[in-house]
């Protein structure tokens, strides 16, 4: 019974967080500085989300050959700059990751 | 009608590559939830009720160690704070919609659905069908997440996990974010977000991620010159 309380409450809080600004839109005009930074939200949030995956190994900064995810990520960034092709980016990233896991 | 359907499928297609990473993640969630002592029905329903991968993992872990209920709820709330940023980001595009659409799209506003839809929403914020893109991405993620959870709960442990398929998520996010880096200010925002996310990675409940994103946004606001749209 306690578990169902946790699920219901956690679900409601998650939903309320996602609804927050969407529900307010149209009723309230946000200040202009707020509107001006909104286009940067995807860059800031999504980069912060994945950077630790690429740069940390067991909580420590690791940019050596023992961290294939860093090199695979670098190659994926280069491929994404070169061609705007999602599947090509994923494919090249996995090729580097699996190649290094196999070799190193 | 044609425009709606095309926009919906655009969202579905933008999300599909992420399933390579989401499906194993969902299967592992199902396994972890059972191992923590969560009954199968609750483990499966949590994927619909909470519908937030990292929060579900956290709850499963906390159930496993017998944490108090309020701690679990608070931890899940903190982990999901970043969704408020996504909410602020898509709010202007959804402003004109009736409340039932706002409620539905808020339910679907996950990391993945946001990442898949936002490049299209930024490119065409005035499109009358923009919200269908987010619906397509959100529904595609939801459906895959439910199937993956079910597989995890039904099959349990014993599935191979040495292909590092979870790496499909960062790779897809790279493919989505890099094209958004169109000027120096945007590159600086990305670099600061990455640097501070690493710096704050030790903070619990993904608060490091939230602080790093806020710090990078502060830089975006303070960067000299007018923001180029």
State how far the Cα of B219 lies from the Cα of A34, in Å rounded to an integer.
13
* ipTM, 2 dp: 0.89
In whole numbers, what is the pLDDT of chain A averaged over residues? Answer: 92
Instruction: Please state the rounded mean pLDDT for residues B52-77.
Output: 87
Domain segments of chain B as ranges? 2-157, 181-229
State the burial class of residue B123 (Cβ atoms within 10 Å of its Cβ: 0-12, 13-18, 19+).
Answer: exposed
Contact residues on chain B for A53, CB-CB shorter than 8 A: 167, 169-170
**A26 with A64, same domain?**
no
Contact B49 A7 (CB under 8 A): yes
pLDDT digits (tens, 9 = 90+) for B94-139: 999 999 999 999 999 999 999 999 999 999 888 999 999 999 999 9
Contact residues on chain B for A72, CB-CB shorter than 8 A: 167, 171
Contact residues on chain A for B217, CB-CB shorter than 8 A: 37, 40-41, 44
Contact residues on chain A for B213, CB-CB shorter than 8 A: 41, 44-45, 48
In whole numbers, what is the pLDDT of chain B averaged over residues? Answer: 90
**A23 with A44, same domain?**
no
Cα-based angle B13, B91, B172 (whole degrees, multiple of 5): 30
Residues 163-202 of B with CB under 8 A from A: 163-164, 167-181, 185-186, 189-190, 192-198, 201-202
**The two three-digit tokens of residue A2, written as one number:** 């306690």
Return the residue of B nearest to A11 by Cα: B50
Give the pLDDT band (50/70/90) at residue B161.
low
**A26 with A61, same domain?**
no
Contact A44 B169 (CB under 8 A): no
pLDDT digits (tens, 9 = 90+) for B22-40: 888 888 888 888 888 899 9
**The two three-digit tokens of residue A74, written as one number:** 């670098």
pTM attached to this predicted model: 0.85
User: Can you give the residue range of the structural domain that contains A20?
Assistant: 1-30
**A46 with A97, same domain?**
yes
Return the residue of B nearest to A93 by Cα: B171
Q: Residue A48: how many CA atoms within 13 Å on its side-chain side? A: 29
**A47 with A13, same domain?**
no
**A49 with A94, same domain?**
yes
- Statement: residue B1 has pLDDT above 50: no
Number of domains in chain A: 2
Contact residues on chain A for B87, CB-CB shorter than 8 A: 17-22
Contact B175 A80 (CB under 8 A): yes
Q: Which residues of B65-89 are buried (b: 16+ CB within 10 A; e: fewer)?
A: eeeeeeebbebbbbbbbbbbbbbbb
């Amino acid at each position: 019974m306690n578990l169902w309380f946790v699920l219901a409450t956690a679900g409601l809080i998650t939903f309320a967080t996602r609804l927050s600004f969407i529900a307010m839109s149209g009723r309230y005009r946000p200040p202009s500085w707020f509107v001006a930074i909104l286009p940067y939200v995807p860059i800031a949030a999504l980069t912060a989300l994945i950077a630790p995956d690429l740069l940390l190994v067991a909580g420590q900064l690791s940019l050596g050959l023992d961290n294939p995810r860093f090199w695979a990520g670098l190659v994926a960034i280069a491929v994404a700059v070169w061609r705007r092709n999602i599947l090509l980016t994923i494919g090249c990233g996995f090729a580097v990751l699996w190649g290094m896991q196999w070799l190193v | 009608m044609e425009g709606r359907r095309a926009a919906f499928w655009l969202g579905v297609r933008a999300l599909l590559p992420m399933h390579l990473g989401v499906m194993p993640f969902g299967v592992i969630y199902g396994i972890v939830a059972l191992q923590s002592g969560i009954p199968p029905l609750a483990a499966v329903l949590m994927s619909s009720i909470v519908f937030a991968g990292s929060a579900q993992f956290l709850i499963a872990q906390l159930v496993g160690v017998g944490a108090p209920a309020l701690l679990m709820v608070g931890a899940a709330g903190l982990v999901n704070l970043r969704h408020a940023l996504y909410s602020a980001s898509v709010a202007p595009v959804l402003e004109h919609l009736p409340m039932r659409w706002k409620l539905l799209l808020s339910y679907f506003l996950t990391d993945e659905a946001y990442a898949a839809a936002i490049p299209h929403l930024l490119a065409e914020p005035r499109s009358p069908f923009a919200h269908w893109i987010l619906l397509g991405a959100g529904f595609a993620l939801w459906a895959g997440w439910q199937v993956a959870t079910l597989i995890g709960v039904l099959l349990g442990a014993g599935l191979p996990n040495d292909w590092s398929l979870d790496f499909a998520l960062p790779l897809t996010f790279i493919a989505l974010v890099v094209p958004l880096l169109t000027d120096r200010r945007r590159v600086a925002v990305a670099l600061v977000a990455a640097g501070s996310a690493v710096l704050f990675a030790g903070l619990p409940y993904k608060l490091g991620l939230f602080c790093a994103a806020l710090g990078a946004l502060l830089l975006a606001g303070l960067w000299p010159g007018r923001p180029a749209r």
